[in-house]
Amino acid sequence: MTEGRVKMRVIKGIPASGGVAIGKGFFLNRILPRSVRSTVGREQVDEEVAAFQRAVARSREQILLIRDGVADSSSEHHQILSVHLALLEDSMLVEETVRMIRENQFAADWAFNKVLQNLLETFHRIEDPYLRERGHDLRQIGHRVLENLAGRPVDSVAAIRDPVVIVAHDLSPADTAQILKSPVLGFATDVGSRTSHTAITARSLGIPAVVGAEGATEEYRSAGMVIVDGEEGVVVFDPNEETIREYQDRRKAYAQRTRDLAKFARLPTVTRDGKTLLLLANIEFPEEADVALRSGAYGVGLYRTEFLFLNRKDLPTEEEHFETYRKVAEKFVRHPVTIRTFDLGGDKFTSQLELAEEMNPAMGLRAIRFCLKEKEIFKPQLRAILRASTYGKVRMMFPMISGVGELREAIAVVDEVRGELRRRRIPYDKEMPIGIMIEIPSAAIVADLLAREAGFFSIGTNDLIQYSLAIDRVNEHVSYLYEPLHPAILRMIRRVVEAGHDAGIPVSMCGEMAGEPFYSYALLGLGLDELSMNAAAIPRVKRILRKSVAYEAKEFAGALLLHATATEIGRALRKKVEDLFPDERF
């Protein structure tokens, strides 16, 4: 496309996976087709039900074919595609659609679309970003069923033969599984976040990607060439020659930086004056352990276990828990693996748990509160973690602890489980540390009391910031108040670190803040012992910390705490890190 004929368009999104892709655009239609409210005659109801069931069966066959083409049956792709198959059997999706067709004489596409939209709204209300993103899995299933119901072919990534940059509303796990074998240079999607499976997959594949680029599919307009800048979160359609040259230079520079960073992966995280920090990885699936190891992770600081409970009709067995945890413990054998007991309940959806609706589920019956109420669900997980502890350096961590009473109650359940294992002569690590997440202001305030009874702390900044500043992160009207550098947050972090150190226990941070290089120098100064983050962030954070002097960072952090606003703190921090690390981009 020559300059002048078509105007260049640029839109911003969320940088999901680093690097720059430049190539011919390819539009992958993943937009839900519209349905119009319509009914059928009583005599056509059976036919509508049969047509819907054929569309579901056809969708199932297509996904099975793709899943069976994934070589590693334990891979993330395989597991997500299995989740999609389970969704196609979900009574809330399939049986409810059949009921609506029969009771209301709705046309199949309208009935299915209505059920689908109701379920999507449920996911949209979920506070936890990771679980909320699972709603996209449901949307992708819906797209496939509706296309099959309409008798239209579903676009396939496997059909791509030439190098392209994909533009789509969203990509399904089926799409990303096929990207592995396709000449796809990068992609941009209308929706998604850094925690969406699409973004996670892009990072694991090393493909440049921008998600949440609202309007990308509208701007596509059969663009000849598309540029995806996965570092800045920029998508350019029909770039002019000057822009192409600029991004070609950026692509070369990124490749060079990646090669430079790779040298740091195997080096220890030691500051210039000899202070050692441990950089660990946040993971959600066992197969992420290999990526974490390659990135230089010293262990796992946050192993989320909710995936085991999602989108299934039954609860995971103790053996399923155990095998999953053992696999990761063996990978890291000499390094810590911190398994967080499940953080479900309240607003966090699982199909097999029939939970009553709550007025304010984010602060309701969830996480450790739910576990202490439903001990028969909690105990199998505890037994599995204890059993896995003999295969490596496993640590157990409770989420959302609000005070000492709750911690004691949780430890009492662990003691019951230990007794059961002893009676059954099943081995476990008797010295396994048991720690807690500090993510509620009350826990930060009584950190000195909690530190006497916890084996370690891990600061969950995402919730701690939300609850401390009383803002809803997903509410666009107040999300601007989500300020990690708010003086209250920094003071709380320092308070927790000091309480932990006074009691002789390590203090980690496993929220998003830990993996953002801009904050690394301040977190070093605040005295944290461990930072746990997305594996891809480890080499860069490691490089910054290795260039730092710990005692100078401590003095600087002390001065930061004297500022009155997040803006002032941010300004001071930016000046400092740009002076200290002129070669870094913040």
Residue of 381, 235, 247 whose CA lies nearest to 316: 381
Do residues 183 and 83 lie in contact, with contact meaning Cβ atoms separated by under 8 Å? no
Structure tokens at 380: 């199998």
- Between the alpha carbon of residue 547 and those of residues 62, 257, 523, 535, the distances in Å are 51, 16, 14, 20
Residue of 159, 144, 184, 183 whose CA lies nearest to 59: 144
Q: List active site positions.
A: 197, 510
Complete edge-to-edge strand list for the sheet that includes strand 209-211 = 9-12, 234-237, 225-229, 20-28, 164-168, 184-189, 209-211, 14-17
Measured CA to CA, the distance from residue 515 to residue 518 in angstroms comes to: 9
Distance between the two ends of the chain, CA-based, in angstroms? 34
Do residues 515 and 533 lie in contact, with contact meaning Cβ atoms separated by under 8 Å? yes
Q: Counting runs of H as helices and runs of E as strands, what totals does the chain give?
A: 22, 16
* H-helix or E-strand spanning residue 122: helix 108-124
Measured CA to CA, the distance from residue 304 to residue 23 in angstroms comes to: 36
DSSP 8-state secondary structure symbol assigned to residue 459:
E
Helix, strand, coil percentages, rounded to 5, for the chain: 50, 15, 35
Residue type, 263: K
Measured CA to CA, the distance from residue 368 to residue 337 in angstroms comes to: 19
257 phi, psi to nearest 5 deg: -65, -40
Q: Write out 5-49 in H/E/C secondary structure.
A: CECCEEEECEEEECCEEEEEEEEECCCCCCCCCCECCHHHHHHHH
For the beta carbon of residue 270, count every other beta carbon within 10 angstroms: 14
Please, is 256 exposed, middle or buried when counting C-beta atoms within 10 Å of its C-beta (0-12, 13-18, 19+)?
exposed
DSSP string, 30-98: -PPPP----B--GGGHHHHHHHHHHHHHHHHHHHHHHHHT-S-TTSHHHHHHHHHHHHTT-TTTHHHHH
Contacts of range 542-546, beta carbons closer than 8 Å, 24 or more positions apart: 542/264, 542/265, 542/267, 542/269, 542/279, 542/296, 543/261, 543/264, 544/517, 544/520, 544/577, 544/581, 544/584, 545/269, 545/271, 545/277, 545/279, 545/520, 546/264, 546/267, 546/269, 546/270, 546/271, 546/272
